[in-house]
Structure 1
Amino acid sequence: MNRRDSIKSILLGSVATGITFHGCNPSEPTASLPQTPDLPQYGRTDKEKLRDQKLFETSFFNEHELLTIAVLCDIILPKSNQYNSASDTDVKEFIDFIVRDMEAHQIPLRGGIMWLDGFSNKIYNKEFVVCTEEEQLHICDQIAYPEETKPELIQGEAFFTRMRNLTLTGYYTSKKGIEELGYKGNTPNVWDGVPEHILSKHGFKYEEEWLAKCINNSNRGDVAKWDDKGNLIS
């Protein structure tokens, strides 16, 4: 099992038990990112919509920070022949929204990016985003494995762990990420009634009129209509 399949396995197990990723702050619920602030209905109250609108109108990260986040996201979840990359699912935009929605992430992420650039300058005399891919991976390898990190790099490890958690949360709560997991949720199946041999065994049978009205999968999405006397019309 490769790294990505391991992640999927962990996430599917979490979904099955109702304890999906909570980002990096287990004391708070994970915020959902609306597709657009213009959506009239996406499960929010008027007060929540107003708050969301204010969040969309503010900014936190500068251009350099957003670029650094984008690079890190794709290092954590890179593109392959089989899978999308983090940037294919707008994970950077997800994180950009989350830090405005959950301010506890702001200082750790901004400070982490500053630490990353400082460490990169120390080793390669340049900022992380302008390093080669090989250099970037060499830096990340030193802070990506908890309990294997050198004591002087613990701050970098904490930052990378937070970035990894946010990246996974953003990716696997996106449409493409959920499709990749193969998780269907509570999807209705097709029911065509009690099997005939079971009905016969107990001395019952369906009336043709009711079969046409109630067990017709071609119109199973239609809302039933009733007359004033409580009789089913259609």
Structure 2
Amino acid sequence: MDRRRSLRYLVAGTAATGLVFTGCSTSDDKNGRVEGVPKKEDNPFNIGRTPEELERDKALTESNFFTTEEVALINVLADIIIPADGQFKAASETGVAEFIDFMALDKTGYQVPLRGGLQWVNHESRKRFNKEFVDASDKEQIEIVDDIAYPYDADPAYAAGVRFFSTMRNLVVCGYYSSKEGMADLGYMGNTPNVWDGVPQEVLDKHGLAYDQKTLDECIDQSTRNEVMDWSGYEL
């Protein structure tokens, strides 16, 4: 089974249980913007929000936690976790870095583990290959990731890297599969209208029930599905 399919099944299985992952700004310019992390000017999720919540959301979406260099590293790791597969885009192309940046500002407990983990990855790359992780070859990058991606098989010496990568993987998967691209990958349709053609006949027969002709004509007949039911002939 390929990695993307495994992650897809993981997300589909955990969605029903309400999976939820548990800001000082280090911006690169005076506007608080970091290259690679676009921010929305307006909050699209403003329905049902209090003025205080909207103000806080606005502050978060106009700020950044990660530097440009850190965003570049996050994008490389994200694409190792969820690469493009020919049909769907890689994680970095779906706003995953923006999502993780928001999470670091919204849940400040992420800040030290994530920034420390990114530094750990770069330190390991410099120690092994004398270069930053983003400058390492694909083979060199995978060599490091393989040492921290499998918690039960990992060398205890890599415990810090294992903890970081597990957190990063969770955030990447959550960010990707809550994006439009990720939902399409899952085949998630959301609340879409469909056609109701009544209770199955075998169920009606089991309980000795049947629709009267008026109900069949006005409620079950799909040619009249857009007409409003007239209940004047029924007693309540």
Q: TM-score, normalised by structure 1?
A: 0.77
Partner of 1:14, secondary structure, is helix
Equivalent residue number for residue 62 of structure 1: 67
Q: Is the 8 A contact 1:37 1:52 kept in 2?
A: no
Could you tell me how far 1:123 is from its partner in structure 2? 0.6
Partner of 1:122, secondary structure, is helix
Q: 1:144 aligns with which of 136, 146, 149?
A: 149
Which deviations, in whole Å up to 9, do the C-alpha atoms of 1:8-61 show, x marking residues without a partner? 22222223xx214322x2xxxxxxxx9763437445333221110011122211
Q: Give the letter for the 1:130 counterpart.
A: D
Equivalent residue number for residue 10 of structure 2: 10
After superposition, where does 1:10-29 map in structure 2 within 5 Å?
10-15=10-15, 18-23=16-21, 25=22
Distance 1:93 1:220, change over 3 A: farther
After TM superposition, the structure 1 stretch with the greater mean CA deviation from structure 2, 164-173 or 184-193, is 184-193
Equivalent residue number for residue 187 of structure 2: 182
- Measured in 2, the distance between the counterparts of 1:41 and 1:220 equals 34
After superposition, where does 1:199-218 map in structure 2 within 5 Å?
205-207=212-214, 211=217
Could you tell me how far 1:117 is from its partner in structure 2? 1.0
Which deviations, in whole Å up to 9, do the C-alpha atoms of 1:71-128 show, x marking residues without a partner? 1100110112233210121111111111111111100010111111111111111111
Equivalent residue number for residue 121 of structure 1: 126
Q: Is the 8 A contact 2:154 2:162 kept in 1?
A: yes
Q: Give the letter for the 2:5 counterpart.
A: D
Could you tell me how far 1:217 is from its partner in structure 2? 5.4
Q: Give the letter for the 1:116 counterpart.
A: V
Could you tell me how far 1:204 is from its partner in structure 2? 5.5
Distance 1:218 1:155, change over 3 A: farther
After superposition, where does 1:80-229 map in structure 2 within 5 Å?
80-193=85-198, 205-207=212-214, 211=217
Q: Which runs of 5+ in 1 are unaligned?
A: 26-33
- Measured in 2, the distance between the counterparts of 1:161 and 1:203 equals 56
Partner of 2:213, secondary structure, is coil
Equivalent pairs: percent with the same residue? 41
- Measured in 1, the distance between the counterparts of 2:127 and 2:189 equals 47
CA RMSD of aligned residues (A): 3.2
Q: TM-score, normalised by structure 2?
A: 0.76
Q: Which runs of 5+ in 2 are unaligned?
A: 23-38
Equivalent residues, number: 214
Q: Is the 8 A contact 2:46 2:54 kept in 1?
A: no
Q: Give the letter for the 1:137 counterpart.
A: I
- Measured in 1, the distance between the counterparts of 2:103 and 2:210 equals 60
- Measured in 1, the distance between the counterparts of 2:226 and 2:181 equals 26
Q: Is the 8 A contact 1:12 1:183 kept in 2?
A: no
Could you tell me how far 1:178 is from its partner in structure 2? 1.5
Q: Does 1:79 align with 2:84?
A: yes
- Measured in 2, the distance between the counterparts of 1:153 and 1:119 equals 10
Could you tell me how far 1:162 is from its partner in structure 2? 0.7
